[in-house]
């Protein structure tokens, strides 16, 4: 192409073949987004809690009482792994088992667990708010406009939606509408919570 500074096709690293420059720009954006996801995950990592334990505390805080099977589905664990995680959280004084209902044993947070969940959520929002504050108003508005479509693209149904939003403060999306919940409803219909 006359005046175009790059070859129309450029070899990619890792043996991915050739790709046009427009696609390379999209891949760079995808690469940057993936790096941001890692950086955010690292910044939110708790020294004394695994990501699954943090997700479990926040999920129980949002949905208590919740059965271990429902918790396992939201956090993305097998039932046996969720039971072990609940055992660890109970031993740490963060979670308690309520009176058995049928075959399910409902879970709830202890007062200590509730304080810890609030602190986790506050820290998560502070870290992200601090990062967003580095962007100008237009960049923040552009990001906010782009995020619903990106989140909806990852929402394959209600189960995926619950996993995607396992760290969310659900109250923050109620007024503006949750793009993940909206996408899940379009796929699977309205949310019906499993009974205990």
Q: pTM score, two decimals?
A: 0.80
Per-residue pLDDT at 21: 52
Q: How confident is the model at residue 104 (pLDDT cuts 50, 70, 90)?
A: confident
Burial class (CB in 10 A: 0-12, 13-18, 19+), 182: middle
Per-residue pLDDT at 30: 83
* Residue ranges of the chain assigned to CATH 1.10.10.10: 46-119
Which of 102-106, 113-117, 119-123, 155-159 is predicted least confidently? 102-106
Fold that domain 46-119 belongs to in CATH: Arc Repressor Mutant, subunit A (1.10.10)
Mean pLDDT value of segment 160-168 = 90
**Residue 35 and residue 123: Cα distance in Å, rounded?**
21
Reply yes or no on whether the pLDDT at 15 is more than 60.
Answer: no
Per-residue pLDDT at 139: 95
Instruction: Report the SS3 class of residue 113.
Output: helix
Instruction: Kindly provide the b/e burial profile for residues 82-115, where b requires at least 16 CB atoms within 10 angstroms of the residue's own CB.
Output: bbebbebbeeeebbbeeeeeeebbbbbbeeebbe
């Amino acid at each position: 192409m006359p005046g175009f500074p790059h070859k129309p096709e450029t070899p990619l690293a890792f043996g991915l073949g050739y790709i046009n420059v427009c696609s390379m720009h999209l891949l760079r954006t995808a690469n940057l987004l993936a790096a941001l996801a890692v950086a955010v995950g690292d910044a939110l990592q708790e020294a004394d809690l695994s990501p699954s334990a943090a997700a479990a505390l926040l999920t129980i805080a949002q949905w208590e009482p919740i059965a271990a099977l429902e918790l396992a589905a939201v956090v993305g664990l097998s039932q046996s792994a969720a039971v072990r995680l609940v055992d660890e959280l109970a031993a740490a004084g963060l979670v308690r088992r309520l009176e058995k209902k049928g075959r399910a044993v409902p879970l709830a947070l202890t007062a200590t667990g509730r304080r810890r969940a609030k602190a986790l959520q506050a820290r998560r929002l502070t870290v992200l708010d601090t990062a967003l504050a580095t962007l100008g108003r237009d960049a923040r508005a552009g990001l906010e406009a782009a995020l619903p479509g990106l989140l909806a693209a990852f929402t394959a149904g209600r189960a995926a939606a619950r996993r995607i939003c396992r760290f969310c403060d659900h109250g923050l999306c109620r007024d503006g509408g949750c793009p993940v919940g909206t996408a899940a409803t379009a796929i699977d219909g309205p949310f019906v919570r499993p009974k205990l």
